[in-house]
Structure formats: structure tokens, C-alpha cells
Amino acid sequence: MPVITNIEDLRVLAEKRVPRMFYDYADSGSWTEGTYRANEADFHKIKLRQRVAVNMENRSTATRMVGVDVKMPVAIAPVGLTGMQHADGEILAAKAAKAFGIPFTLSTMSICSIEDIAAATQAPFWFQLYMMRDRDAMARMIDRCKAANCSALMLTLDLQVIGQRHKDLKNGLTAPPRPTLRNILNLLTKPRWCLGMAGTRRHSFGNLVGHVKGVSDMSSLAAWTNEQFDPRLSWPDVEWVKKQWGGKLVLKGIMDVEDAKLAAASGADAIVVSNHGGRQLDGAPSSIEALPAIVEAVGSRVEVWMDGGIRSGQDVLKAWALGARGTLIGRAMVYGLGAMGEAGVTKALQILHKELDVTMAFCGHTQLTNVDRSILLPGTYPA
């Protein structure tokens, strides 16, 4: 086993162990992948101010996200097909998050179901909802979240239409996946993954198959999802979800100040500055570039979080310094899961936390809640 010291080490190991079509699904962006790359690269442009001769004892990275105590301002982002990165992937990630002390968010397009996560963790988790045309199905899904004791609902707003990711088309990633010769040969090189998948019954979209009218298997699901992502989604629909849910509501996919103002006015408890990991609108700015203006516009009215490009605890600290009161990690979690299962997710969280803690100390702080943009070198971060 190689020595794992950072998120990149986990990525390299995951690439070796996860079938190509599923690794590429997570590790790709739309079209030229320019926005996908910028999400990560723009963090590197931001420079930190090192401070010395400061008492660095008794440090704490703890804070709260929509009323939930968290060990650090990080939650696991909703990632579709997580259960194809590793058998029972969502369950394993949720367990790792619970043990570490951060929230887990389950995707609508997960392999393990809402009920699977509730049974496996016995802890409140968050659920991410995609708006579908079938409002009865949406209402039933929201009711299932209530029954599972979900503590927040995260409504994703930027998937009214689906961005094209060239790798998915070339890999034949469909529902169910196409059994091309290339895919079969690649699977033969992944015995660890195949053995794990042979040992679980969870191979389809657990939140949809058997729960949505007319969807009984993966083949019927494909036709349903192609028709169901709702291009008509608008702010009245957000209000409908808020009324149906009645609990903490997070709106994900905000990249524009005007949309942030509308989101704050909608009564959301938090918004996520997010370009869907560069998987939707290629050519959009990075999330970290968009963050400061949105914080300035609505940060006093609603919790502002961000995701996209976070590969280190330093990235988390930079986002916090620019006003994000929380961050979401998707790929960093997926790399750990694909590399080493639950232990890999735990390792990813440990890496991020240590990097966050040590960097905070070098910047002269012992309490995360006291950190602001004064830790950043002027002129290196977006205004």
C-alpha cells in the first residue's frame, strides 16, 4: 500500500482501482473542462500571510452549518453514482462522515437509497433533491426524507438541462451501462471492484427504482430520467419545495449575485456557490472567483457555502476567509472511496482537517471562527 499524504495520492489510487467509465464520470467536466480546471487552479492563485510568534495552542476548526455542529466547515457533497465508485459507496461515506463529525449529503441519483442510509447510520443526514416534472414523485421523495429524519434538504438548481461531458459519451456511460468490449476488458483489470460489487445487491438508483411510477429497473429508469429533469424550474417551484419540506432548505448552484438575492429572498437557510464542479456550464467562472461578490450581497441574510475545486484544507481555509461559512467536497471524497472504501473517505477527511488546522496556525489563528480575509495577501484573491 502506498503512503497516502494528500488528496492527489488518493486520486491516483482511485484511478487504478475504479472502472474507467465510473472514474471518468466523477473526474470530468463539460465540454473543454475549462471551468472544471479553473475551480481548482484559482485556489492556487490566492496567497496566505504567514504570521509568527503567536501562541498556537488549543486550536479549534469547529463551527456550525445550518445549526449542525461540525468538526470543520466541510460537508460531503451529493455525488451521483457514488455506489459505483465502490460497493455500497454512499453507506460507507455516510458512516465515515458521521464518525468524523461532519454532515453527509445523499444525491437523488445515488445507488444506495434514503432508507439504506438511515438504517446504516442512525444519524440525521442531508438529502439533495433534483426537481423532476413528476411532482407527485417529488412529494413522495420529500416525505421519505422526513421519515428518514433528514435534517436538511438541498435543492439543486443548475440541472434543468444536462451539460455534455464528452468522456461519458465515449465511455458508453448510460443507464444501464453499455457492455462494450472496451468496458468489459477494463472491468477485467479491476478485480477488487468487481468482487465488491458482487457482494452487494445495490446496483441501481435506489431512490428511484421501485419508488417512481413506471420505473421498475435500470432500463425503464433511463427513459424516465431523460424526460423528467424539469427545464421549467423557477422560483415558484422553490417555494413549493419549501412548503412541502418545512425544514432547513439549502439552494445549490448559485453563481450570480442576482440569483443569490432571489435565493435569499426565497427564505433559504443556506445557498451553495457552485458550478456543479464544472460539469454544467463550461466557460463559467470558478466557484471561488464568484464567492466574494455573493457573500457581500447576501452574506448577512443567509449562510453562504461553496463547492468546486477543493482539494486541500488550505482551500477550505481560503474559502472561509472569503466568507464561505461552509464548503462541500465531492471529488475529494470520491477519490478516497474509490481508493480505499470507508477508510479512504476517513483518510480524505483527516488530510483536509490536518491541512486546515496547521495552515490556520501558520496564519496566526487558533479559532476558525476568528479567521477573516486578513489572512490573505491583498491582490491575490477575487474582490
In 139-205, DSSP assigns E strands to 152-156
86, 276, 353, 365: the active-site residue = 276
Record the cell numbers describing residue 299, joined without a space: 452574506
Across 61-95, b (16+ Cβ under 10 Å) vs e yields bebebbebebebbbbbbbbbbbbbbbbbbbbbbbb
Nearest Cα residue to 122 out of 152, 91, 154? 91
Known active-site residue 44: no
The grid cell for 174 is 448510460
Q: How many CB atoms lie within 10 A of CB 298?
A: 22
* CA distance readout (Å), 372 to 68, 191, 226, 288, 360: 21, 47, 44, 15, 11
195 contacts: CB under 8 Å, gap ≥ 6: none
CA 128 to chain centre: 10
CB 61 within 8 A of CB 356: yes
At residue 127, the 3 state secondary structure works out as strand
Catalytic sites, residue numbers: 276
